[in-house]
Amino acid sequence: MSLYIPRNCGNLSVFGKLNISRLPTKPIASSWRTIDMKSRRSLLAAAVPLLVGGCTRDPAPTDQSSTPTSDTTQRSPSPTDNPETQHRSPSPTSKPNTRTSTPDCMRGYTVYISRFAPTEQIVTGFRPAQQPLADRIITEDGVTLRTYGQPPIRTEQHTRYDEAYYRIDYEQTGTEEVQAERGDLSWESGQEAPGGKPVVSYTDLPEVDQHGLDYLIHGPKYAREGHPTQSLGKRDTPVPYPQGTADSELVGAGTMWVEWDDRVYKVTISTDDRTIARRTFDYTATRVADSKKGFRKYVADRYLKPLEGLSSEEKSVLEAAIEAGEEGKYEDCNEPSPGYEKLEQRMENMSELPAPYTGHWYISYEGEQYFLEIGGWVV
């Protein structure tokens, strides 16, 4: 089985009526690549930790996510980059691409049914950069976080801690525009300053420059996935100076060579004033269950939707998906059947599971509980 993943944090071709899902990947020139997955569960395990905090590419200035850890040179994307990503949220449990495209079948509309297993399906595995924040939110009875860009952890995420189950939520309580300057940075493994050029130690820089350089290299706190091993490049990136630049030794000094953690960076920070948004998020943790059985009941009470009064066409589609089992599916070729369209419309009028599980529902049907996914594919 193959899962087609676009590069540059683009769109996985799993959708129905542009129900598009995203998976973060390295921003490299090629448009698509193929990753082999043995099972749907393999995709869930691989994808969820990457999705709970958003993409790992450099984001638009108004909605920044974590800094990429790939060896790459970047610019700061504009809000119009990747316009396709403004469709549905990521679908981490989507089936590996089992499509059987033929010259006569170039698009598929699919319905998948799985057993109701919330402890396996919606309990979040956080990325290493996010896990310390999740732990703090739980152990400190909430955290107020100020950060540049998106919240590191989405709201309504479920996690397990010391055998109990928690729901993590946040409320955005403030936004401020702080001063920033345009910065460029480059580094390669083994890089040294050209002969005769002075090298400044990071620890000798003023605090305002340390703050800005830390962000330029690593990105926002709790969104850092480690330093690249071979190279790193940033171009035209806003560098925050919330305390102003009066004490700075980097701003307006031209190209500087800065040594930090045994790496020598080429840094240029101009006097091109701009701003960057710094947001305040109040995170809370709610203990929702103390056991798997308790968590199943909590999820059923909160998310389970009864499917009643279905038309014969809808029943035909849903029951075909149930009969196909977890490794099968219901599928229409090229055009959706009336039953598929009616079922899709019915589900779109019901609240979905929280992101990144958009396009998924927990349903009860004729006395049984299921995990329902409606999506599709296109060549």
CA distance linking residue 170 with residue 150, whole number of Å: 12
What is the token pair recorded at 365? 């049907």
pLDDT of residue 98: 55
CB within 8 Å of 195: residues ≥ 6 apart: none
Work out the average pLDDT over 91-109: 67
pLDDT of 304 over the 70 cut: yes
How many other CB atoms sit within 10 Å of the CB of residue 13?
Answer: 21
Among 116-130, 136-150, 160-174, 300-314, the range scoring the smallest mean pLDDT is 116-130
Confidence tier at 61 by pLDDT (50, 70, 90):
very low
Tell me which amino acid residue 56 is.
T
The percent of residues above 90 in pLDDT, for the chain, comes to 66
pLDDT in tens, 20-47: 332 232 222 222 222 333 334 444 444 4
CA distance linking residue 101 with residue 19, whole number of Å: 19
pLDDT of residue 356: 85
pLDDT of residue 225: 77
Among 27-31, 108-112, 326-330, 343-347, the range scoring the smallest mean pLDDT is 27-31
pLDDT of residue 99: 56
| CA count, 13 A, side-chain hemisphere, 55 | 25
pLDDT of residue 355: 87
Work out the average pLDDT over 39-58: 42
pLDDT of residue 279: 96
- Give this prediction's pTM: 0.72
pLDDT in tens, 317-330: 999 999 999 999 99
Rg over CA atoms, the chain = 24
pLDDT in tens, 229-268: 999 999 999 999 999 999 999 999 999 999 999 999 999 9
pLDDT of residue 17: 35
Confidence tier at 224 by pLDDT (50, 70, 90):
confident
Among 84-93, 175-184, 199-208, 317-326, the range scoring the smallest mean pLDDT is 84-93
